[in-house]
Amino acid sequence: MLQIFYKKSKISRQDWAFAYQKIGEIVESFPLPLMRIEAYDGRSPNLDKEHLDLRVEVGKPLEHISIYGDQMSFTAGTTVRFYKNWKKHIELELSGTEYDVHKPITWAPYHRFQDDGSLPDANGLKPKYERIDPRGALYQYAILAIGVFLENKLPGKFFLTAVDHNREVIIPVIEWLEGHFQEPFEMPVYFDKNRLLASFIDEYEDKMHAVAHMEQLFRKQFKRNMQFAIEFIGYEPTFECYAEVLTNYSFNTFGFSDVLDAWIAVTKDLEAALALVASSKQLRIQLAEDNQAEQAEIEKEYDLSKLLTGLLKDYILWTPQQREALGHFYTNEQSLETGRDYLFGAIMRIGGKRVDICPIYCAERELFEAFMYHDPKNGNKYKEIIENWITKNRHAYDALINLLKEKEVAQEETEEDDSEAAFYEKMIETIEYEGFIQKYPSHHQFFIRKALDINPACSAPEKAVAMLCNEMKRMNEKEENLEYVQDLQQLPIERKKELIRKRIKEKRHTFTVGTGFDQWLADEIDENVLSFLLFLVNLKIYDKGSAYARVQILQNRIYWKGLDG
């Protein structure tokens, strides 16, 4: 998710005129040919939707730049528009509010943490739908380049946030900007936490609010945020903030554990973790105010024996050396670091097939005494829980090591080397790709490589088209398809054209045809070509290369010559 915030009170019409000119230069010079989509959901009167000319309504009141994907990687997301007229851009493409004209754009008023999927907030207007969702498409790098440029050239007036990206992703964007504009560019402030914090920390009298704002800017990256906040803002405001964050989750749930595990990993202190739990409990009780029934429920909910059971299950009594063996399984290491449970990890966790590992080692006596300190009346219960776990798992480590050894032997026995032919085929393919990449300037090559990773066929569209055509001919010659192919061939020319148009309209999200396709189709008189096109648009395709080849045929009439239906 990307956001570019605009500090409306500081951006003049002259600023925006400069910004609009440079945005146009960036998108039109970007290494991957960017596209715009003319109309969604089949509303265009024409069949063609995707265009490489990115400027719309040129010279008119609603002139704007529009992008939604790129031609090489064959990926796209939601449309991003930049209107030439500053007032129109505010009216049509921006939302939200500028909270305080006197405070920096990176600042935002304090808000209690809510685990509701909300996006970073700042002191400026944001995109129309609050964020730009590229859905992983490579045109996101062009959006990042725009954000980096605006921050650098109009400092304090624009602020880029990118919650799903890390610092390394921005480096090739900066290298491309420097190569293209032949001048240096600084890392955007979102990716330089020290500069980001310095830009707004003095605006908060209560430093806990600064911690909360960093948490809001870097959503649920609990471990990283805690480490940074403790070092650069202070332990007490960080403790206060994350005690409050914990109140958003029911005790001992997955969400609660995500925060607590991160706190343990950062502090390496069980006592600090239990103190954080106790503080969150008191906050929950305070929030319940005079509702005694609710307060009693909270007291009951915070049963520390559940927490102890969870820590034991997560191997808090195993030494770091012992826990290394658990790394052979799917663990919580990634989610602990990033604060995100991706779909596979979430499924594994819910199904009990993920091995969650407690970030610290604690000896038996130390564990018992820590829980006794916070809840001495249940000492016998804690002692029993610990002893039962030790008894049950006394030989678990030895059994695990033996299991891993057995798996290792079995894998060595069944593992087969790749065939020599496959090795050479892969080597030739790699050489071809590298040759294609080296045709581009060095500051372009990162993006070309990314496009090839997603869509290898883009390095040789003619080859991809030829392979698809050969496969279609082979399918046409199969006995089970002969009757269907003959029926297509026997249709009148105008009926074929009608069916092709109808199919493209029906599959408006799948098919993208070239500008002028309507006229190409109207002018076509070769029955074989029309039969081929009709078969092509009705063909079910599941691989990226063939889908890309089909688009090439529909976007370039040059490929129609010699088509044999």
> Is 244 a domain residue?
yes
pLDDT at 30 over 70: yes
Lowest mean pLDDT among 3-12, 58-67, 426-435: 426-435
Helix then strand then coil, % of the chain, to nearest 5: 60, 5, 35
Residues 213, 200: contact at Cβ < 8 Å?
yes
Both 132 and 262 in a single domain?
A: no
Asked if 122 and 153 sit in the same domain, the reply is: yes
Q: Are residues 334 and 474 in the same domain?
A: no
Residue 508: its pLDDT value, please? Answer: 61
Residue 429 is assigned to a structural domain of this protein: no
pLDDT digits 0-9 by tens, 534-565: 988 888 888 888 888 998 898 889 888 766 54
* Rounded mean pLDDT, 5-27: 98
Question: Quick one: DSSP state of residue 558?
Answer: G
pLDDT > 70 in the chain, percent: 89
Q: How confident is the model at residue 359 (pLDDT cuts 50, 70, 90)?
A: confident
Please indicate whether residue 427 or residue 392 has the higher confidence score (pLDDT): 392
Q: Are 200 and 107 in contact (CB under 8 A)?
A: yes
**Which range, of 28-32, 35-39, 300-304, 357-361, averages the lowest pLDDT?**
35-39
- What CA–CA distances, in Å, run from 239 to 204, 207, 224? 17, 11, 14
Output the pLDDT for position 424: 44
Q: Is residue 339 very low, low, confident or very high in pLDDT (cuts 50, 70, 90)? A: low
Q: Is 249 within a domain?
A: yes
Measured in residues, the chain has a length of 565
- Which helix (H) or strand (E) segment holds residue 281: the answer is helix 270-287
Give the integer Cα–Cα distance in Å for 324 and 134: 38
Query: For residue 145, is it within any domain?
Result: yes
| SS3 track for 239-260 | HHHHHHHHCCCCCCCHHHHHHH
pLDDT given at position 219: 87
Percent of the chain with pLDDT over 90: 52
**Does position 167 have pLDDT exceeding 50, yes or no?**
yes
Number of domains present in the structure of the chain:
3
416 pLDDT higher than 60? no
68-107 pLDDT, tens digit each: 999 899 899 989 999 999 999 999 999 999 999 999 999 9
Amino acid identity at 473: K
Asked if the model's pLDDT at residue 326 lies above 70, the reply is yes
Same domain, yes or no, for 282 and 373?
A: yes
* Cα–Cα dist 56/354, whole Å: 51
Q: Which contacts of 467-471 are long-range, i.e. CB under 8 A and separated by 24 or more positions?
A: 467/545, 467/546, 467/549, 468/545, 468/546, 468/549, 468/550, 468/553, 469/563, 469/564, 471/546
Residues 234, 351 share a domain: yes
Exposed / middle / buried, residue 427 (Cβ in 10 Å: 0-12, 13-18, 19+): exposed
| DSSP for 71-96, written as a single string | TTTTEEEEEEEEESSHHHHHHHHEES
Integer Cα distance of 480 and 485 in angstroms: 10
Please tell me whether residues 171 and 228 are part of one structural domain: no
User: 67 phi and psi, to 5 degrees?
Assistant: -140, 145
**Top-confidence range, 40-49, 277-286, 409-418:** 277-286
Q: What is the pTM of this model?
A: 0.83
The answer to which of 41-45, 177-181, 206-210, 275-279 has the lowest mean pLDDT is: 41-45
Q: Look at residues 156, 127, 125, 160 and name the one whose alpha carbon lies nearest to residue 141.
A: 160
Question: Averaged over 51-61, what is the pLDDT?
Answer: 90
pLDDT at 269: 94
Q: Which of 360, 378, 396 is the last residue of a domain?
A: 378
Asked if residue 45 is part of any domain, the answer here is yes
Cα dist. 9→12, 123, 470 in Å? 8, 11, 60
| Nearest by Cα to 445 from 172, 43, 49 | 172
Residues 6+ apart with CB under 8 A from 303: 251, 252
206, part of any domain: no
Could you tell me the two tokens for 272? Answer: 């600090």
Write down the pLDDT at residue 5. 97
Q: What is the mean pLDDT of residues 334-356?
A: 66
pLDDT band of 427, cuts 50, 70, 90? very low
- Cβ distance 367 to 361 under 8 Å? no
Report which secondary-structure segment, H or E, holds 69. Answer: strand 64-70
pLDDT at 429: 53
Same domain, 373 and 511: no
For the chain, give the mean pLDDT.
87
Buried b (16+ CB within 10 A) or exposed e, 11-23: beeebbeebbebb
Long-range contacts of 557-563, Cβ-Cβ distance < 8 Å, separation of 24 or more: 557/514, 557/516, 557/520, 559/465, 560/520, 560/524, 560/526, 560/529, 560/533, 563/469, 563/526, 563/528, 563/529, 563/532, 563/533
Q: pLDDT-derived band of residue 347, with 50, 70 and 90 as boundaries?
A: low
What pLDDT shows up at residue 433? Answer: 75
Angle of CA points 76, 77, 79, to nearest 5°? 110
Cα–Cα distance between 374 and 283 in angstroms, integer? 17
State whether 42 and 120 are in the same domain: yes
Check: CB of residue 555 under 8 Å from CB of residue 514.
yes
> Is 251 found in the same domain as 327?
yes
- Higher-confidence residue of 506 and 199: namely 199
Within 8 A by CB and 6+ apart from 299, the residues are: 281, 285
Last residue of one domain, picked from the residues 329, 353, 378: 378
pLDDT band at residue 430 using 50, 70 and 90 as cut-offs: low
Separation between Cα atoms, residue 558 and residue 318, nearest integer Å: 67
Cβ atoms of 237 and 211 within 8 Å: the answer is: yes
Q: Which two tokens stand for residue 170?
A: 């921005």
Residue 271: DSSP 8-state: H
Q: Is residue 415 part of a domain?
A: no
Average pLDDT score over residue span 260-285: 94
User: What is the extent of the structural domain holding 52?
Assistant: 2-198
* End position of a domain, from candidates 378, 411, 442: 378
Q: What is the pLDDT of residue 506?
A: 77
Residue 337 in tokens: 């670091």
Considering only residues 505 and 448, tell me which one the structure prediction assigns the higher pLDDT. 448
Residue 477's pLDDT band (cuts 50, 70, 90): confident
Q: Is residue 396 part of a domain?
A: no
Cα separations in angstroms, 173 against 67, 83, 108, 218, 242: 17, 23, 27, 21, 34
| Residues 170, 93 within the same domain | yes
8 A C-beta contact, residue 517 and residue 501: no
Q: For residue 488, which of 539, 518, 530, 526 has the smallest C-alpha distance?
A: 530
Say what the pLDDT of residue 395 is: 86
Q: Identify whether residues 193 and 117 lie together within a single domain.
A: yes
| Rounded-to-integer distance, Cα 270 and Cα 364, Å | 12
Q: Are residues 92 and 181 in the same domain?
A: yes
Residue pair 260/314 in contact (Cβ under 8 Å)? The answer is: no
